[in-house]
Amino acid sequence: MEIEIFKTQLKQLGEKVESLKNNLETEEATKMALVTPFFSLLGYDIFNPNEFVPEFTADVGIKKGEKVDYAIVKSGKPLILIEVKSITNKLDNHCSQLFRYFGTTAASFGILTNGREYRFFTDLDAANKMDSLPFLSFDITNLSDTIIYEIYKFSKENFDANDIRVTANELKYLSAIKSFFDTQFKQPDENFLRYVVGEVYEGKKTQSVLDNFTPIVAKGFNQFINERVNQKLTNALKANDEPKEPSKQEEAEEEVAATENNGEIVTTPTELEVYTLVKFMLSPIVDSKRVYYRDNRSYFNVLLDDKITKWILRFYQSNSNMFFILNDDDKTRYDIDSTMDLSNYKNKIIEVAKKHI
């Protein structure tokens, strides 16, 4: 399935979840109305018990007959265990059951869901022991292009356990870090306050001092983010929509600039989506550790081995359009409506990358 079709269907399912959420009161209703359609969308035959097994037996220690709601299997061996809760339930207190099942099977991944929220787990910290933190979590009613691309990796035609594990560790901690900053953005906790105050205040850090600093730190955090966003928007508005191909001298200067800390350049979520998508597209032909990015004032580079002479594409975004230039013989420009459109040029991107491997 083409990713654009997948993206459309996934968002339609998200709309369905939103419309049905108040009419589903049981776990079984959640399974039938929301969860099985999700895995059907991923390409699995939910009516084939040799591929999608309901009530999969996962004996735990001396407890026999323990069953997980579903298992996706291949050649009789489980690949993914799926535990479902009612959409009326929060998932925070339900990881332990899936944790027990995970360690007794050969499954590589575990999924906990209530039909709206999905949490994907694996065993990055210790073999055959499910991590306490998911490496991927999302609300199906509110999906970014980056998350959709990660979900797409779990489709039947694209599933590759080893490939997913390559990025799972980064995703796991990136998610935790973003969650941490989101919390501090809204209401800084004491440890974070003590760290920040310790960097700017020389006096004794009493509770009264921390209390006084709480709104100041929160306000500073908000202003910092807003100023960065506004600065990026200002730079984008100033940028010329038509790209100028860098000269050899400019490329040399860029090589030097890459080693310096330029606080005026802010890499946006859209640019990171471009990097993630290209890295995934190139994963069959090149080690993902060789794929880098560099952000500049006017464009965003994806390149191999962190060498500007090995750039693959340059992504441009302004207030009016979005496009990228491939490092082919003609330096071809392609206009796109969203980052997901990059998948339409996968073969061309791979051909360019092959020249630099």
pLDDT in tens, the chain (357 residues): 678 889 899 999 999 999 998 899 899 999 999 999 999 999 999 999 999 999 888 765 545 667 889 999 998 889 999 999 999 988 887 677 788 778 778 888 999 999 999 999 998 888 888 888 889 999 999 998 888 988 999 999 889 888 888 778 777 777 778 778 888 887 888 888 888 888 888 888 888 988 888 888 888 877 887 777 676 656 555 544 444 555 555 555 455 554 444 456 778 888 888 998 898 889 889 888 899 999 887 889 999 998 888 999 999 987 668 899 999 988 999 999 888 889 889 999 999 999 988
- Closest to 239 measured CA to CA, from 161, 175, 323, 350: 323
The pLDDT, as a whole number, for residue 138 is: 93
The pLDDT, as a whole number, for residue 248 is: 53
> CB-side exposure of 204: number of CA atoms within 13 Å?
3
Q: At a CB cut-off of 8 Å and minimum separation 6, what does 50 contact?
A: 73, 76
Using DSSP, state whether 88 is helix, strand or coil: coil
CA distance 342 to 151: 17
CB of 108 within 8 A of CB of 161?
Answer: yes
304-326 per-position pLDDT tens digit? 998 888 999 999 987 668 899 99
> What are the C-alpha distances in Å from 203 to residues 197, 200, 206?
9, 9, 9
> What are the C-alpha distances in Å from 209 to residues 183, 201, 219, 288?
21, 10, 16, 47
- Positive or negative, the CA dihedral 152, 154, 155, 160 is positive
Cβ neighbourhood burial of 84 (10 Å; 0-12, 13-18, 19+): buried
The pLDDT, as a whole number, for residue 312 is: 95
The pLDDT, as a whole number, for residue 255 is: 52
* Phi, psi (deg, nearest 5) at residue 205: -90, 75
Q: Where are the alpha helices (DSSP H) in the chain?
A: 3-20, 27-30, 36-41, 95-102, 145-152, 161-186, 190-200, 207-238, 248-257, 269-282, 346-354
The pLDDT, as a whole number, for residue 289 is: 86
The pLDDT, as a whole number, for residue 59 is: 61
Question: Cα 24 from chain centroid?
Answer: 29
Class of the CATH-defined domain 3-177: alpha beta
Q: At a CB cut-off of 8 Å and minimum separation 6, what does 206 contact?
A: none
Q: Pairing mode, if any, of strands 77-84 and 52-57?
A: unpaired
Q: Which two tokens stand for residue 348?
A: 């061309």
Other beta carbons within 10 Å of 166: 15
Other beta carbons within 10 Å of 318: 16
Q: What is the DSSP string of 127-176?
A: TTB--SS-SEEEETTB--HHHHHHHHTTSTTT--HHHHHHHHHHHHHHHH
Polymer length in residues for the chain = 357
* Phi, psi (deg, nearest 5) at residue 52: -130, 100
CA distance 184 to 178: 10
